[in-house]
Structure 1
Amino acid sequence: MGKFEIKTRKNGEFQFDLKAGNGQVILTSEGYTTKSNCNNGIESVKKNSQDDSKFDRKTSTNGKPYFNLKATNGQIIGTSEMYESESSRDNGIESVKKNAPEAEVVDLT
């Protein structure tokens, strides 16, 4: 079972990580100025992760595949790690789709 972990960055902003059942981070958020906004971001991930068109499949400048999850307004709400292959990236997307909707929220702040 996946989980969202909320933590505080060094600059005082809040961010969340979505972790798969094995503890691996599969999606990381931007920084939020308030915990409330961070929680809204989590809700947005739960909702938007079920729409494949919200996943923006990208390739970094060093050739590594990754993805962004976008909200309805087009804003990026989460970014994946860099993967070694497109198939690994696609597996990461499937993991977000599977884990996000029912993931518990753990507040580590």
Structure 2
Amino acid sequence: MFELKKKGEQYHFVLKAGNGQVILSSEMYNSKASAKNGIASVQKNCSNENLFERKTAKNGKFHFNLKSTNGQIVGSSQMYAAESGMNNGIESVRKNAPGAEIKEI
């Protein structure tokens, strides 16, 4: 499920797995429409393996970004202790995002 939240005058969303764990977080958007476009971009682009950017932080933890076809980051993961955790997170996005409902908080 996507949770669309308003913080102050801006909006952002998270994608949660079936167990309620956040697997992807967005940047802040100036309008609800822009945030909804970001959700649509995640749903569209998550099937393309090449749009996932795998990264290793300076502390040795792993994380990923999902980019749109224009190269802009539309969502970022949490930090994972192991590379396998990051890969499982990517698979969870690929599995859960396409048909996920949007819940406004």
Q: Which structure 2 residue ranges, 5 or more long, are not aligned?
A: none
Q: Following the alignment from structure 2 to structure 1, what is the Cα–Cα distance between the partners of residues 36 and 58? A: 31
Q: Following the alignment from structure 1 to structure 2, what is the Cα–Cα distance between the partners of residues 34 and 87? A: 35
Q: Which structure 1 residue ranges, 5 or more long, are not aligned?
A: none
Runs of 4+ in 1 over 6 A off after TM superposition: none
Q: Following the alignment from structure 2 to structure 1, what is the Cα–Cα distance between the partners of residues 87 and 30? A: 31
Deviations 1:22-71 (A, max 9, x none): 00000000000000000000000000000000000001121110000000
The two structures, once aligned, show a CA RMSD in angstroms of 0.7
Instruction: Classify the secondary structure of the residue corresponding to 1:26.
Output: strand
1:35 matched residue in structure 2: 32
Alignment length (residue pairs): 105
Q: Following the alignment from structure 1 to structure 2, what is the Cα–Cα distance between the partners of residues 101 and 83? A: 23
* Percent identity (aligned): 56
1:80 matched residue in structure 2: 77
1:20 matched residue in structure 2: 17
Instruction: Classify the secondary structure of the residue corresponding to 2:23.
Output: strand
1:12 CA drift (Å): 2.2
2:59 maps to a residue whose letter is N
TM-score w.r.t. the length of structure 1 is 0.94
TM-score w.r.t. the length of structure 2 is 0.98
Q: Following the alignment from structure 2 to structure 1, what is the Cα–Cα distance between the partners of residues 97 and 75? A: 12
